[in-house]
Amino acid sequence: MFGAGGGALAAGSLLTACKGAHDDEAGATGATGNFPKPGERWKFVFINHVTTNSFFAPTQNGIKDAAALLGVDYQWTGAEDGNVSTMATALDTAISGGAHGIAIALTDNTAFKAGCKRAFSRGIPVVAYNATAAGNYALAYIGQDLFLSGYKMGQRIVREVGSGDILVGISQPGGNNVQPRLDGIRKAIADAGDRITVHSVNTGAEQAAELSAMEAAYAGRKSAKGVYAVDAGSTAGIAQMIDKQGLKGKFHAGGYDTLSDTIEGVKSGALDFTIDQSAYLQGFLPMLALYLYRLSGSLVHPPEMDTGLTFVTADTVDPYVKAQSVYEDAKGKRMLSMPASLPLPAPLTVTSS
Amino acid sequence: MTTSTVDTRRGRMVVDGLLRRRELSIALVTVALGLYFTFTTTGFNTGSNYHIIAQYFAPWAIIAAGEVMLLICGEIDLSAGYMFTLAPFVLAVFVNNGAPLLIAVLGALAVSACVGIANGLIRTVLNMPSFITTLGMFFLLWGIALLLSGGSPVQAPEGGALVSVLGGARWAELCWAVGIVIVMQVVLSGTRFGVYTFAVGGNPTGASEAGIRTRRVKTACFALTSLLAGFAGILDGIRVGSFDPTNGGANYMFLAVASAVIGGTALLGGSGTVVGAFIGAVALGIVHEGFNLAGINANAFNAVLGVAVLAAMMLNIYLSRFSRAGT
């Protein structure tokens, strides 16, 4: 951290020493890299729905790292228990406390509309992260595109399964965070000619019960050619079930997020894949977006950033298994060793009309 | 009968005298907290910040107005926080079945009061401790709220004068809180019902021997608490614009009871004031908002909050001893 700062300073003084053809103001006061130091120290506020949930520990690491990189302050606040009223009040506090930028998880369709409008009217940029809701106001959404991730998963299921019955576990049918994924899967299957029948399994939100629900569903439909899930707990439940009952290879399987059972399942081959929505980037990228937007006086508009289309497979799972890191855990290493050779990523696709 | 009534009145006067000083000390602590944040944060003394503080404490103060009555008569309602959660969804059910908003509000309030009456009857007729009775109701109401909402938020009614009055307008929730506190304080210190409440909590045997229907008084207090909690839930939901199954809950109940106790109400019954509970809620609101404004991060927040509440209460006890010694 100090090394990077020192490097930035040295680079800054070097740049000031010799000006190029363009007489710009790069690095003159050297806050970070080429960027000038703003008059006051900026503070970006993150409003979260479950501030102490372990899923968001890497998100906070991302925020912290970006804050150190950019020389800004941050506040991680909101509600511990999803309480929308507390979140809305925290949003108001951020505005009246003079935040220089706000990132908010839009877990409710209506509760944050007024607050976000007020923020914009006071010149405070707002981006949404982790959760988004139609009809709300934010410069961009930085997080997983839930429907798209489900659609990609559906395409993969079509490739792997072909036709027949599949089970898909969902912790909370209708829930803003999971239902769009299931809808995406159904859409992809329908687009591919509808040769797969989806049987959804309501698994509930408690992890022990999720395993039981998946086991019961599979016992009732042993002909299933694939067993999938659209939430972290149910995915881990599938991995446990395959391990416990020795079902590896009997059907295709996969799901979401990087709980340890899931990662072990991918490693052992019980699961074909899991989709990583990168909690770390959901903190790091909003900081960068807010910083550049402010620094450029609103010229550099944050793009939509989808953090959630990384398929973790047996080829790519090793870095997840090997070491605790700040990118996937609450604490751990910042620097991990680079694999000697890299698996080919999925070929690029281009949207055409 | 006459002597015991006179005794009760004399007892009440002594209790009131003590409490007035207790309120004074918590008021001083509240002012001290305000000064602390004025000097340590930027933007504390602004209209918009006062509004945010009011958003914090108004629901706690309204629930506390009921809890004070219950605490005074020696009972507690643990389910009030989930009555707060459930009432907006009951309102939504009425609205979805075609009821106009006013009828839906009255219906939801009636259901809230009935929950309180059920609490009261189970407590007094079956003689079950209120801790267990209302703990059972706590889970029941929580479950019903989740079932009615399906676990996801419902949009609150929007537009119209009634919505503005019921929390939509900027200071509406605070106005309701202040109005309710004044009315409840008058009920408590100026009516026969208030005298009975003190009597039932301070000396239950004496009260029933004096002809006070203790069961009826307690049941009425339970009904009032649920009614106020349900009303606070509706106000808060409309203010936020969304009825959410995660609103309210155990946290709000504890904050309301804490407001009452910080404001000088005895946990074991017999003494307390609604105004004191209101000041207690303001103090808690200032601490919540102040540390948020100071930029305390979520993981450290509860630790800082805990230290602040303990320090404030120690100062409060010190001040009340000081004022007692001074007179």
Of B23 and A47, the one with more pLDDT:
A47
- The helix (run of H) or strand (run of E) holding residue B205 is helix B204-209
pLDDT at B85 over 60: yes
Q: Are A218 and A252 in contact (CB under 8 A)?
A: no
A289 token code pair:
């977006």
- Searching chain A, which residue's CA lies closest to the CA of residue B298? A77
Average pLDDT of the residues in A269-276: 95
Distance, in Å, from the CA atom of B194 to the CA atom of B275, rounded to the nearest integer, reads: 14
Average pLDDT of the residues in B214-225: 96
pLDDT bucket at A5, cuts 50 / 70 / 90:
very low
Query: Which residues of A fall within a CB distance of 8 Å from B56?
Result: 89
A165-174, A190-199, A265-274, B94-103, range with the lowest pLDDT: A165-174
Nearest to B153 among A48, A75, A84 (CB): A84
Distance, in Å, from the CA atom of A200 to the CA atom of A165, rounded to the nearest integer, reads: 11
Query: Alpha-carbon torsion A55, A57, A58, A62, what sign?
Result: positive
Our CA angle for B85, B291, A93, nearest 5°, is 65
A215-224, A333-342, B129-138, range with the lowest pLDDT: A333-342
pLDDT tens digits for range A133-161: 889 999 999 999 989 999 999 999 999 99
Of A313 and A28, the one with more pLDDT:
A313
Torsion of CA A120, A121, A122, A127, to 10 degrees: 0
A113-127, B99-113, B161-175, B256-270, range with the lowest pLDDT: B256-270
A115 CA: distance to closest CA in chain B (Å): 10
**Can you give the residue range of the structural domain that contains B226?**
22-322
Q: Are A105 and A130 in contact (CB under 8 A)?
A: yes
Instruction: Look at residue B226 and tell me if it is in a domain.
Output: yes
pLDDT bucket at B21, cuts 50 / 70 / 90:
low
Q: Which residues are CB-neighbours of B195 under 8 A, at least 6 positions away? A: B8, B9, B12
Query: Which residues of B fall within a CB distance of 8 Å from A98?
Result: 42-43
Q: What is the pLDDT of residue A81?
A: 76
On whether any CB of chain B is under 8 Å from the CB of A64, the answer is no
Distance, in Å, from the CA atom of A346 to the CA atom of A183, rounded to the nearest integer, reads: 23
CA B89 to chain centre: 20
Number of domains in chain B: 1
Asked whether the domain spanning A146-276 has the same topology as the one spanning A32-144+279-307, the reply is yes
pLDDT at B16 over 60: no
Report the share of chain B in percent with pLDDT over 70. Answer: 91
Average pLDDT of the residues in B45-52: 90
On whether any CB of chain B is under 8 Å from the CB of A214, the answer is no
Nearest to B152 among A78, A111, A175 (CB): A175
Q: Between the CA of residue A119 and those of A79, A85, A94, A96, A297, what are the distances in Å? A: 19, 17, 9, 9, 16
Pairing of strands A126-129, A101-104: parallel
Q: What is the pLDDT of residue B308?
A: 85
- CATH code of the domain covering residue B189: 1.10.3470
3-state secondary structure of B120: helix
Nearest to A96 among B46, B56, B251 (CB): B46
CA B116 to chain centre: 14
3-state secondary structure of B47: helix
DSSP class per residue in B259-315: HHHHTT--TTSS---HHHHHHHHHHHHHHHHHHHHTT--HHHHHHHHHHHHHHHHHH
Of B241 and B16, the one with more pLDDT:
B241
Cα–Cα nearest to B162, from B110, B106, B113: B106
Please provide residue A201's backbone torsions phi and psi, each rounded to the nearest 5 degrees: -120, 120
pLDDT at A340 over 80: yes
pLDDT at A28 over 80: no
Distance, in Å, from the CA atom of B257 to the CA atom of B66, rounded to the nearest integer, reads: 10
Please provide residue B137's backbone torsions phi and psi, each rounded to the nearest 5 degrees: -65, -35
Beta carbon pairs, A and B, within 8 Å: 98
Query: Which residues of B fall within a CB distance of 8 Å from A73?
Result: 295
Q: Which residues are CB-neighbours of A39 under 8 A, at least 6 positions away? A: none
A45 CA: distance to closest CA in chain B (Å): 9
Largest CA distance in chain A: 74
Q: Are B77 and B134 in contact (CB under 8 A)?
A: yes
pLDDT tens digits for range B153-170: 888 998 889 999 999 898
Distance, in Å, from the CA atom of A339 to the CA atom of A335, rounded to the nearest integer, reads: 13
A10-19, A285-294, A302-311, B77-86, range with the lowest pLDDT: A10-19
pLDDT bucket at A235, cuts 50 / 70 / 90:
very high
pLDDT bucket at A343, cuts 50 / 70 / 90:
confident
Thinking of the domain A146-276, which architecture would CATH place it in?
3-Layer(aba) Sandwich (3.40)
Q: Are A337 and A345 in contact (CB under 8 A)?
A: no
On whether any CB of chain B is under 8 Å from the CB of A177, the answer is no
Distance, in Å, from the CA atom of B242 to the CA atom of B65, rounded to the nearest integer, reads: 24
Query: Which residues of B fall within a CB distance of 8 Å from A177?
Result: none
pLDDT tens digits for range B256-287: 999 999 988 888 888 889 999 999 999 999 99
Side-chain half-sphere of A285: how many Cα atoms within 13 Å?
A: 24
Angle at which helix B47-72 crosses helix B192-202, to 10 degrees, equals 60
Fold of A32-144+279-307: Rossmann fold (3.40.50)
Instruction: Look at residue B17 and tell me if it is in a domain.
Output: no
B208 token code pair:
């029933």
Contact residues of B toward A, CB < 8 A: 41-43, 46, 48-49, 51-52, 55-56, 150-153, 155-156, 236-237, 239-242, 244, 246-247, 249, 251, 289, 292-293, 295-299, 301
Quote the ipTM score: 0.75
Instruction: Look at residue B291 and tell me if it is in a domain.
Output: yes
Tell me the β-bridge partners of A201. A169
Query: Which residues of B fall within a CB distance of 8 Å from A48?
Result: 298
pLDDT at B93 over 50: yes
3-state secondary structure of A165: strand
Nearest to A52 among B48, B236, B299 (CB): B299
Q: What is the 3-state secondary structure (H, E, C) of A171-234?
A: CCCCCCCCHHHHHHHHHHHHHCCCCEEEEEEECCCCHHHHHHHHHHHHHHCCCCCEEEECCHHH
Please provide residue A273's backbone torsions phi and psi, each rounded to the nearest 5 degrees: -165, 165
Instruction: Look at residue B28 and tell me if it is in a domain.
Output: yes
Q: Are B71 and B267 in contact (CB under 8 A)?
A: yes
User: What is the tally of helices (H) and strands (E) in chain A?
Assistant: 11, 12
pLDDT at B326 over 60: no
What are the domain boundaries of chain A?
Answer: 32-144+279-307, 146-276
Mean confidence (pLDDT) of chain A: 86
Query: Which residues of A fall within a CB distance of 8 Å from B51?
Result: 92
Distance, in Å, from the CA atom of A203 to the CA atom of A210, rounded to the nearest integer, reads: 5
Q: What is the pLDDT of residue A15?
A: 45
Test B55 with A92 for CB contact under 8 angstroms: yes
pLDDT at A205 over 60: yes
pLDDT bucket at B304, cuts 50 / 70 / 90:
confident
Test A77 with B298 for CB contact under 8 angstroms: yes
pLDDT at B177 over 80: yes
Instruction: Look at residue B275 and tell me if it is in a domain.
Output: yes
B63 CA: distance to closest CA in chain A (Å): 16
Instruction: Look at residue B14 and tell me if it is in a domain.
Output: no
On whether any CB of chain B is under 8 Å from the CB of A30, the answer is no
Average pLDDT of the residues in B203-222: 91
CA A274 to chain centre: 13
Our CA angle for B124, B125, B129, nearest 5°, is 45
Distance, in Å, from the CA atom of B171 to the CA atom of B51, rounded to the nearest integer, reads: 7
Q: What is the pLDDT of residue B271?
A: 86
pLDDT bucket at B9, cuts 50 / 70 / 90:
low
Q: Between the CA of residue B325 and those of B15, B21, B263, B313, B320, what are the distances in Å? A: 16, 11, 20, 18, 8
Of A308 and A174, the one with more pLDDT:
A308
Q: What is the pLDDT of residue B23?
A: 79
B175 CA: distance to closest CA in chain A (Å): 18
Q: According to the per-residue pLDDT averaged within each range, which of A25-39, A155-169, B242-256 is highest?
A: A155-169
Instruction: Look at residue B112 and tell me if it is in a domain.
Output: yes
Q: What is the pLDDT of residue B296?
A: 87
